[in-house]
Amino acid sequence: MSDKHNKSFFGQSTGMFLQSSSKTDPFIFFRFIKKKESGTWEKPSLGEGKTIKCSLEEIVMILNVLRRKIKSWSTVHVFKEEKTPISVNWEGENKIWFNVGDYPKMLIIAQIEILILLMEHILAEKIEFATGPEKLNEGPPEVIKLPVDSNNYSRKKGIVNDSLEIVEELDLGNKVKKIEGIIKGETEKALLLKTTNDSEFWIPKSTIKSEYHPEKASKQSFLIDSWIIEKNKIA
């Protein structure tokens, strides 16, 4: 049986990696990368992307969300004076969002099931091999975790110009906004989105930070750069 685990979950604009280097380590890593406007992906080896280190307790809380025992969970990691808000929450019955700093990643049912099985396996391994007597003398991890009540996250609902509905605005530094709509048309570099009041907007694909299903006439959520919404005078 392998001592290491590395699983990637890629979408059209964001990739997520779950990594465990050893079953004797009482933690795992989640790494997130984005696709650049050039079409290439960020490279962690060059210091790009975002990496978080999750303890056994945090693995349990994430699994509680994945298993639908709780709807959402959030915390804040502090590393070298840099604060990273982290949240995991369901959207409807078939999607889960990992929001880590300004790296939002959506998973669908098949990916969620794989992640559950993998995290359960890794947790069982680490409970057996990473909690022995030799671990008692180890110091605390570098990351300081500050639990955050999900009710205190910056979230709001409302209607803005052209009836474009802001379903949820997460505390991601106001860089992105989450909207609902359907895909009415598509080119190589842009999507034509139709909102609930039949307004239509062309949105560059490079500004869409979440995964989406290419089929038309299917209502879904999109995380879009705030600047493109402002440029189009949507907000």
- 185 pLDDT band, cuts 50/70/90, is confident
Element (H, E) at 104: strand 103-108
So what's the architecture of 5-152 in CATH?
A: Roll (2.30)
DSSP 12: S
Structure-token pair, residue 56:
């056994």
Nearest to 9 by CA among 92, 119, 123: 119
Q: How far is CA 213 from CA 93, 124, 181, 193, 220, in A?
A: 16, 34, 12, 13, 8
- 191 pLDDT band, cuts 50/70/90, is confident
Q: How far is CA 175 from CA 5, 155, 169, 225, in A?
A: 32, 14, 10, 6
Amino acid 154: pLDDT = 37
Amino acid 68: pLDDT = 96
- 145: which strand partners? 77
Higher pLDDT, residue 126 or 172: 126
Cα distance between residue 229 and residue 226, in whole Å:
5
In the chain, what are the domain boundaries? 5-152, 158-231
Higher pLDDT, residue 60 or 138: 60
3-class DSSP state of 220: strand
Total-model pTM: 0.61
Provide the pairing of β-strand 14-20 with 50-55.
unpaired
The stretch 196-204 carries a mean pLDDT of 82
Q: Give the helix ranges, DSSP H, for the chain.
A: 56-66, 109-129, 226-231
Cα distance between residue 219 and residue 223, in whole Å:
14
